Chain A
Amino acid sequence: MFSHKFIVRQLLAVCIGLLATVGLSAQEIKIADPASVVVIVNRDSNDISFMDIKSHKIIGSVFLGNNVNPHMAMMSSDGRWVVTGGTRANKAYIIDVATLTLKKEIAVGFAPEHLAFSPDGRYYYQGNPDDDSVSVIDMVSLTVIKTIRGFAEPLNITFTPDGSKAYVANYGSHWVGVVDVSRHELLKKIHVGSAPAIASIDPERYLGGIKGVSNVSISNDGRYLYAADGDLGIVTVIDSREDKVIKKIPVGADPWRAFMSHDGRYAVTANNGDETISIIDLQSAEVVATLESGPEMMGINFAADKAFVISSTTGFLYVYDMKGLKSAGRIKIGEVQIETSTTDTADEKLYLASSTDNSVYVIDAKTEKVERVANVGLYPWGTHILDSKDNYCH
């Protein structure tokens, strides 16, 4: 015989199950196609907004919590999740894209900023620059399964196309970390370059602060990596098969990173030290053009055979003809501070975050016509589109 308590328990469990099932099915599907949205990171309103890519209407936003200050967002390759690192909350946030709900908060290291998904979407690597670590989050269990230590201000993370290795850029040093993804271990450090010997009489330049490697950019075929070093003014070319430095290319002063043109022909560095860009021919691994640009360059986007360089504090987009390798004017966005931008998958439009007027500007790459989408959130810091070739952060 079963007791009445046992029966009550069983009934309760069934009821809870039914209620849960009904509740889940009742949750509204807000985004059916994850490729149809622009993800916007709003640093000061502490939320992630989702904008319809056709109508430019805000579909909804997911609030993360006070003082979270998200830095960068990325969508998983299957479009199921959007993840972001809350820089001032020391947490990673997992958002369910379909329902626009915050699925989970996960404690990571100090000041999480840049991040990347493994190509198969299984792992989410979250860089924690103030913690000199990378948190590895398993996207099945949604837990941190390992914290890889030993970096020096790790910023951007780049996976090889086969997902076997990840390259971690260290802005606080002059080396690139190679991570074995199967074991989530730091395998080796690739030295990108040395300060000239004569630097010993100018120690303040190298000891006062460091501008190392902010990003490791990868060629379309995954064979070569390009690491720009700010202090050394070079782009170091690494063969990903052997993890060996094969060339060091001098560029302008204080290159922020190398941005890869979509056709795989050029890498373009934004040299904030002398306000120029260096265009590197990837076939010859030589600088083929050095062109004047603006101050405080935050990013470069490619579309319609042009390169668009974001000069943050001036509110200008400097435009370059990538066929003629020459200047092609500039677009005045406004008396605003502009941040970073993403390009749609058709290479037709740019979606530029403008922090000081809480807007996203949509720029037609061909006609250079600009449309403002206002009130997307407070201090939009970056944008992201699934499968875009220009998904980057500061």
Chain B
Amino acid sequence: MLQVYKADSGQNKFSFKKKALGLYVQFVPLVCALAVPFSAQVQAEEATREQLLQRIAQLEKQMARMDRLEQRLNELETTAVLSDPETYVSRVEVFVDEDGVEHAAEQPGTHSVVTYQRERVYRRQTINEKIDDALSGEAASRVQVGVDAAITMQYANQQDGSDGEADGEFYQLASTDLYFTAEIAKNTIFYADIVGLSGTTPGSEIGGLTDINGYTARLRENDNQLNDLSLREAWLMTALFDEQLALTVGRIDLTSFFDSNAVANDETSQFLSDALVNNPMLGLSENGAGMAGVYDPKNGVTLKLGYQQSDSTATNLSDSLFQMVEVGYQFNPFGTGVGNYRGWYRTNNNDDGGSLSAYGFSLDQKVSAGITLFGRYGEAETLSGDDDEFFSGGVQFSDGFGFNPSDVWGLGFANTVLGNDDEETLFEGYYTLSLAERLALSFHLTYVDEEPDGADDFSYLVPGFRLQASY
């Protein structure tokens, strides 16, 4: 196609170019006279076409720009915060020489110094991230409050023996724990637990060797006082030596630290009977002021040491000193599953100024993903000379062995024989139905057989339920 390359009307000469060949053709004025009307029309059409093409290109550019702006606006409106560059303070290790000059890397004659430095970075955060950061920062500096509330209802049905006081009676207990936790320094927390109890439990009327309802264990000074508010625990804990050693000082419950068990240690979610929550040979009847140290290098071995005042009526600590030591080991025997094995030893001052000791074991062993066996044994010196003895055992099922994946159930038994030949045998089965993340309903059936020395044997069947809420 021929295109107008140059029009020089002053010289009456037109030039055309054939693009592909780069050729030029010149026409003489005579020919030109005929060509003018035709060339003018072509020129006009070409100009119009060029204008249209330019307009289309311009529109396409504008459309693309609009798309980009729309995407950008969408992004800003939905996710990004229009903010200055982010600033934060970071902990920096630098190396300082004798002249006080900082170096980023260690050099001869320098020593390491930890300092703090503000960083200014281009980090764009979303509004949600900003809000979350602010809320979590505020929450971390506040006292955290938790509530653990439970209602237990039990019925005592005597099976054997002469008519007992508890036969045919219902018992209801409401228990509320208020927890307060505050981080007061790095790796140091304050914790307090205030418990309110109201109602009755079958233990006081059955008169067994152990508590049928573990909620009241180590809290009652008098079986009839069940409408009271108690400070269960109040302590300060700090972690030292790369958090391998945890020291706890204050009013403590040593059974929270010692004689633990993965599946038989919590009356709020596992067995209800105290004989399947703790080892009676520990001999702790109440909480008191004391200290516990736990050394846990996280290699499976743990070492625990502790003491507490064991009698709140004592006028000095020396007269009521309860001391305890425990060694624990976790391993996976023959690849069957994780097992925790613990052995403990304790001494306790008595009223005669002497010291009575006891020892015991606690183990829990997984035999499959959802089945865990447990056992306890303990033996304690007595003033009468003959030792008290205790053993318990059982199994817990979880992880799909119930109606719901998070349901748990278990079967356990416990046998207690005192030095004076009093004996108690207890069986308990429970099923904990996980209603919600913070709400559980448990059904319990306990059978307890008491064989007091020099008196008639008697036994009770105690069905009951527990409604537990934690938040």
- 9-residue interface stretch from B6-14, B252-260, B398-406: B398-406
Contact B124 A67 (CB under 8 A): yes
Contact A196 B338 (CB under 8 A): no
Residue A327 interfacial (CB < 8 Å): yes
4 further A-B pairs in the complex, CB-CB below 8 A; given A90-B71, A202-B437, A288-B369: A67-B124, A232-B405, A290-B369, A326-B330
Residue B31 interfacial (CB < 8 Å): no
Residue A88 interfacial (CB < 8 Å): yes
Contact A289 B434 (CB under 8 A): no
Enumerate chain A residues within 8 angstroms of B433, measured Cβ to Cβ: 198
Q: List 24 A-B contacts (CB under 8 A).
A: A45-B121, A67-B123, A88-B80, A110-B79, A130-B78, A196-B405, A197-B404, A198-B435, A198-B436, A205-B437, A233-B406, A249-B369, A288-B337, A290-B369, A325-B335, A328-B299, A329-B297, A330-B297, A336-B91, A358-B92, A375-B104, A375-B105, A378-B119, A378-B121
Interface size on B, residues (CB 8 A): 47
Chain A residue nearest to B114 (CB atoms) is A335
CB distance from B321 to the nearest CB of A (A): 32
Provide the bound-state CA to CA distance between A88 and B436, in Å: 38
Contact B439 A202 (CB under 8 A): yes
Q: Which of B22, B75, B405, B436 contacts A6 (CB 8 A)?
A: B22
Q: Which of B71, B186, B332 contacts A325 (CB 8 A)?
A: B332
Contact B22 A69 (CB under 8 A): no
Enumerate chain A residues within 8 angstroms of B27, measured Cβ to Cβ: none
Q: Which residues between 84 and 98 of chain B lie within 8 Å of chain A, taking CB atoms? A: 86, 90-93
Residue B118 interfacial (CB < 8 Å): no
Chain A residue nearest to B74 (CB atoms) is A110
CB distance from B231 to the nearest CB of A (A): 28
Enumerate chain B residues within 8 angstroms of A198, measured Cβ to Cβ: 404, 433-436
Enumerate chain A residues within 8 angstroms of B79, measured Cβ to Cβ: 110-111, 130
Contact A327 B90 (CB under 8 A): no
Residue B385 interfacial (CB < 8 Å): no
Enumerate chain B residues within 8 angstroms of A202, measured Cβ to Cβ: 435-437, 439
Contact B404 A196 (CB under 8 A): yes
Among A44, A110, A197, the one with the most B-chain Cβ atoms within 10 Å of its Cβ is: A44
Residue B342 interfacial (CB < 8 Å): no
Residue A114 interfacial (CB < 8 Å): no
Residue A387 interfacial (CB < 8 Å): no
Q: Which of A2, A3, A356 contacts B91 (CB 8 A)?
A: A356
Chain B residue nearest to A205 (CB atoms) is B437
Residue A324 interfacial (CB < 8 Å): yes
Chain A residue nearest to B85 (CB atoms) is A66
Provide the bound-state CA to CA distance between A318 and B439, in Å: 32
Contact B122 A374 (CB under 8 A): no
Counting chain A residues whose Cβ lies within 8 A of the other chain, the interface size class is: 35 or more
Contact A44 B121 (CB under 8 A): yes
Residue A332 interfacial (CB < 8 Å): yes
Residue A24 interfacial (CB < 8 Å): no
CB distance from A9 to the nearest CB of B (A): 10
Q: Which of B91, B124, B439 contacts A88 (CB 8 A)?
A: B124
CB distance from A365 to the nearest CB of B (A): 16
Chain B residue nearest to A202 (CB atoms) is B436
Residue B368 interfacial (CB < 8 Å): yes
Enumerate chain B residues within 8 angstroms of A289, measured Cβ to Cβ: 332, 337-338, 366
Chain B residue nearest to A375 (CB atoms) is B104
Q: Residues of A with Cβ closer than 8 Å to B? A: 1-3, 6, 43-46, 66-69, 88, 90, 110-111, 130, 196-199, 201-202, 205, 232-234, 249-250, 286-292, 314, 316, 318-319, 324-330, 332, 335-336, 356-358, 374-375, 378-379
Known A286-B369, A358-B90, A378-B119; contact A250-B405, beta-carbon cutoff 8 A: yes
Contact B331 A326 (CB under 8 A): yes
Provide the bound-state CA to CA distance between A1 and B104, in Å: 68
CB distance from A202 to the nearest CB of B (A): 3
Contact B298 A250 (CB under 8 A): no
Contact B436 A374 (CB under 8 A): no
Q: Which of A67, A288, A328 contacts B122 (CB 8 A)?
A: A67
Among B78, B93, B123, the one with the most A-chain Cβ atoms within 10 Å of its Cβ is: B123
Contact B123 A329 (CB under 8 A): no
Among A234, A319, A327, the one with the most B-chain Cβ atoms within 10 Å of its Cβ is: A327
Provide the bound-state CA to CA distance between A328 and B301, in Å: 10
Enumerate chain A residues within 8 angstroms of B437, measured Cβ to Cβ: 202, 205
CB distance from B434 to the nearest CB of A (A): 7
Enumerate chain B residues within 8 angstroms of A46, measured Cβ to Cβ: 122
Enumerate chain B residues within 8 angstroms of A326, measured Cβ to Cβ: 300, 330-332, 338
Q: Which of A111, A205, A287, A357 contacts B93 (CB 8 A)?
A: A357
Enumerate chain B residues within 8 angstroms of A250, measured Cβ to Cβ: 369-370, 399-400, 405
Known A289-B332, A375-B104; contact A44-B119, beta-carbon cutoff 8 A: yes
Residue B242 interfacial (CB < 8 Å): yes
CB distance from B112 to the nearest CB of A (A): 11
Known A198-B434, A205-B436, A250-B400; contact A327-B91, beta-carbon cutoff 8 A: no
Enumerate chain B residues within 8 angstroms of A2, measured Cβ to Cβ: 22
Contact A44 B299 (CB under 8 A): no
Provide the bound-state CA to CA distance between A250 and B71, in Å: 43
Q: Which of B105, B121, B298 contacts A379 (CB 8 A)?
A: B121
Enumerate chain A residues within 8 angstroms of B337, measured Cβ to Cβ: 288-289
Provide the bound-state CA to CA distance between A196 and B80, in Å: 37
Provide the bound-state CA to CA distance between A131 and B299, in Å: 44
Provide the bound-state CA to CA distance between A256 and B13, in Å: 83
Chain A residue nearest to B368 (CB atoms) is A286
Q: Which of A44, A111, A287 contacts B86 (CB 8 A)?
A: A44
Provide the bound-state CA to CA distance between A46 and B71, in Å: 22
Among A130, A205, A287, A335, the one with the most B-chain Cβ atoms within 10 Å of its Cβ is: A287
Provide the bound-state CA to CA distance between A314 and B121, in Å: 24
Contact A327 B121 (CB under 8 A): no
Known A201-B436, A324-B332, A335-B91; contact A290-B338, beta-carbon cutoff 8 A: yes
Enumerate chain B residues within 8 angstroms of A324, measured Cβ to Cβ: 331-332
Q: Which residues between 358 and 417 of chain B lie within 8 Å of chain A, taking CB atoms? A: 366, 368-370, 399-400, 404-406
CB distance from B203 to the nearest CB of A (A): 32
Among A6, A232, A288, A328, the one with the most B-chain Cβ atoms within 10 Å of its Cβ is: A288
Provide the bound-state CA to CA distance between A292 and B330, in Å: 10
Contact A318 B298 (CB under 8 A): yes
Q: Which of A44, A130, A316 contacts B123 (CB 8 A)?
A: A44
Provide the bound-state CA to CA distance between A288 and B334, in Å: 11
Provide the bound-state CA to CA distance between A336 and B91, in Å: 8
Provide the bound-state CA to CA distance between A345 and B436, in Å: 45
Enumerate chain A residues within 8 angstroms of B91, measured Cβ to Cβ: 335-336, 356-357
Contact B22 A3 (CB under 8 A): yes
Chain B residue nearest to A111 (CB atoms) is B79
CB distance from A62 to the nearest CB of B (A): 15
Provide the bound-state CA to CA distance between A314 and B244, in Å: 13
Provide the bound-state CA to CA distance between A291 and B331, in Å: 10
Provide the bound-state CA to CA distance between A111 and B299, in Å: 40
* Contact bitstring B231-245, A, C-beta under 8 A = 1, else 0: 000000000001100
Known A250-B405, A374-B104; contact A330-B369, beta-carbon cutoff 8 A: no
CB distance from A85 to the nearest CB of B (A): 14
Contact A287 B369 (CB under 8 A): yes
Among A66, A198, A357, the one with the most B-chain Cβ atoms within 10 Å of its Cβ is: A198
CB distance from B469 to the nearest CB of A (A): 12
Provide the bound-state CA to CA distance between A287 and B124, in Å: 41
Provide the bound-state CA to CA distance between A328 and B122, in Å: 40
Provide the bound-state CA to CA distance between A287 and B398, in Å: 13
Enumerate chain B residues within 8 angstroms of A249, measured Cβ to Cβ: 369
Enumerate chain B residues within 8 angstroms of A66, measured Cβ to Cβ: 122
Chain A residue nearest to B299 (CB atoms) is A329
* Contact bitstring B343-360, A, C-beta under 8 A = 1, else 0: 000000000000000000
Chain B residue nearest to A199 (CB atoms) is B436
